[in-house]
Amino acid sequence: MTGAASVSILAIAAAPTAPSFDWSAVRERLLAELYRFLAAAPLLLVALLLTLAAWWLGGWLARRALIDRLAGANPFLKNLLATTLRGGCALLGLATGLQLMNATAIVGALLGTAGVVGIALGFAFKDIIENYIAGVLLSLRQPFRPHDHVRIAEHEGLVMAMTARATVLMTLDGNQLRVPNAIVFKSVILNFSQNPSRRFEFDLSAPFDGALEATQARVRRRVEAVDGVLREPDTEVLLVSSGDGKAGVRVRGWIDQRRSDIDQVRSAALRAATAALQADAAAPAPAATAAPARPGAPERTRQHLLRAGEAGAGSRDLLDPAAPAE
């Protein structure tokens, strides 16, 4: 019995025991990290204060009168300069704080992440960014003034406002139209308001005979007599084609679009020229009028469109009325 008991005790002693978790190593590691954090706490505090000071400095600089002088009356450019200055100062303070804490690797990682995120957002919001940048450039160039009569690509109307995304037009038939700034920037812009004089023209068919020159002179006199047609530049009656006993005649005249409507004057000039072709050469020229419209009707129509456009614009205007047009 004594030998069997001894063998049993030895077998139990030789059996493997379950390993126990050593909490002392974990405690020592946590204490070491805590000591490192406490040792770095002053530098962390200084870096945080430096970042906050840089942010405050950026905000203080963004409120200076220099920003107003640089931006002029352009609120969009003013906000852009202020935001860029404030963000640049904050990033400079953050980079300096990380450098102070010897965490330059974090700066590289942040810059790399920002680059990847920027590329992804650029593809995702390509149209928005394109319109935004075009709005910045247009607000600097000022290609037209408020209330100018312009044609942008196939769109025509009165300029009501320019926002960060689109240029607002009031079309001549009374509808509000928003043209994306990217289209405005890339398109051909025809500004009718830069020069008050505007030319109209139309074509007629006249007999091709020996009296053609007299017919041209008669048509010119009739068109010049129309109310609203300017004496300078001169009215022109040109021969542009001939055939089958007929002559193609092109009539060109000028109006002051601040006081006359081009469609009304063109209509009256066309009636007068047609009457001149049909009348006898010796007959006296009847008096011609532009149209049975009330005096000042074109300007009243324009003011009506401007009032409707200003009521529906609802956005801050980035155009500066005092800035010279490009």
Share of the chain above pLDDT 70, in %: 72
CB 176 within 8 A of CB 163: no
pLDDT digits (tens, 9 = 90+) for 90-114: 888 877 777 777 766 666 777 777 7
CB 226 within 8 A of CB 269: yes
Please tell me the distance from the alpha carbon of residue 68 to that of residue 82, in angstroms, as a whole number.
10
Q: Give the H/E segment covering residue 100.
A: helix 75-100
- The whole-model pTM stands at 0.58
Angle, CA 230 vertex, CA 229 and CA 231 arms, to 5°: 120
Residue type, 281: A
Closest by Cα among 273, 290, 274 to 221? 273
pLDDT digits (tens, 9 = 90+) for 3-59: 555 555 555 555 555 556 667 777 777 877 777 777 667 777 777 887 788 888 888
CB 248 within 8 A of CB 240: yes
Instruction: Report the pLDDT value the prediction gives residue 272, as an integer from 0 to 100.
Output: 92
Q: Is the pLDDT higher at 203 or at 119?
A: 203
pLDDT digits (tens, 9 = 90+) for 114-128: 777 778 777 777 888
Q: Where does the pLDDT of residue 73 fall: very low under 50, low under 70, confident under 90, or very high at 90 and above? A: low
Burial of 24: CB neighbours in 10 Å, binned 0-12, 13-18, 19+: exposed
